[in-house]
Each structure stands twice: as structure tokens, then as C-alpha cells.
């Protein structure tokens, strides 16, 4: 797909993180506390600062952690919606440039990723309630 670098997907992000995403960013030198927040259900999400993802450079309109960005950011604009299943996110102005093949390939990935993230959140929640 084409990306116009509009920054919409990096604005007020609620991007979910897998343990592997967190570890990849930590190996790149970022401290977990800088970029991860946990919600009450045990999900790890990207932090925001001044209305943008902490990794977003709002002057250059680029991701500062591009090489190490989370899987969900790599898969975007393909997302999973409870109502519609695998779709290209309406928020992305370039969503129609994603091919059917990309939608299928990334759709498989997003479903697997969300399964893993659900299971990791459940484990985290159980650990906290022990």
C-alpha cells in the first residue's frame, strides 16, 4: 500500500503490544517505562506524549523507531474489527491502496497477533491478581 505519512495512525495511539514487540524495542535501547502503559485488563499499549505516540516525530512526520516498530504498526492499516472482521482501517486515508493480497496476508497475521496478545494479557492479569 501507499503511505502518505499523514501521521493519523500515530496520533493518540492505542496500539497493542505483544511481549515480542516490547522485547524488540528494549533491545533497540528504549526503556519499557518510556513506551509501555498497561490497562486494567492486562493489555500492554504504546504510550502517547503530547497527543502522539512517544515514538512519533511530529516535525519530520516519521516514526523514530521505524526499524523496531511494533507488529501492529507493521500490519496497519489492516486491523481486526469485532463487527466486520479483517478490514483496512477507515481512519487511514490511503486504505484503498492496500491490495486484496495484502489484506489477506496481513489479515492472517493480525488474527494470530491478537490471539497472542489476548493470551499474554490474560497471563499478566492473573499474575497481578495472585
User: By C-beta, is 13 or 18 nearer to ligand SF4?
Assistant: 13
* Minimum separation from the CB atom of position 61 to ligand SF4 (A): 8
User: By C-beta, is 50 or 129 nearer to ligand SF4?
Assistant: 50
* Minimum separation from the CB atom of position 68 to ligand SF4 (A): 8
**C-beta separation of 17 from 36 below 8 A:** yes
Enumerate binding residues for ligand SF4 (CB under 6 A).
3-10, 13, 15, 46, 53, 55-56, 63, 65, 69-70, 73, 76-77, 92-94
Q: How far is residue 14's CA from residue 48's CA, in Å, rounded to a whole number?
A: 8
User: By C-beta, is 98 or 121 nearer to ligand SF4?
Assistant: 98
User: By C-beta, is 79 or 121 nearer to ligand SF4?
Assistant: 79
Q: How far is residue 27's CA from residue 64's CA, in Å, rounded to a whole number?
A: 15
Cβ-based neighbours of 80, under 8 Å, separated by 6 or more: 86, 87, 107, 110, 111, 114
* Minimum separation from the CB atom of position 54 to ligand SF4 (A): 7
- Locate 35 and state its grid cell: 513506551
* Minimum separation from the CB atom of position 9 to ligand SF4 (A): 3
Q: How far is residue 128's CA from residue 130's CA, in Å, rounded to a whole number?
A: 6
Amino acid at each position: 500500500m501507499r503511505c502518505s505519512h499523514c501521521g493519523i495512525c500515530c496520533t493518540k495511539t492505542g496500539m497493542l503490544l505483544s511481549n515480542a514487540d516490547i522485547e524488540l524495542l528494549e533491545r533497540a535501547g528504549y526503556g519499557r517505562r518510556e513506551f509501555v502503559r498497561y490497562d486494567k485488563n492486562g493489555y500492554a499499549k504504546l504510550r502517547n506524549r503530547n497527543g502522539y505516540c512517544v515514538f512519533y516525530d511530529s516535525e519530520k512526520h516519521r516514526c523514530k523507531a521505524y526499524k523496531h516498530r511494533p507488529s501492529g504498526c507493521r500490519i496497519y492499516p489492516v486491523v481486526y474489527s469485532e463487527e466486520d472482521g479483517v478490514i483496512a482501517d477507515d481512519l487511514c486515508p490511503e486504505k484503498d491502496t492496500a491490495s486484496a493480497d495484502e489484506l489477506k496476508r496481513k489479515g492472517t497475521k493480525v488474527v494470530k497477533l491478537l490471539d497472542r496478545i489476548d493470551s499474554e494479557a490474560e497471563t499478566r492479569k492473573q499474575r497481578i491478581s495472585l
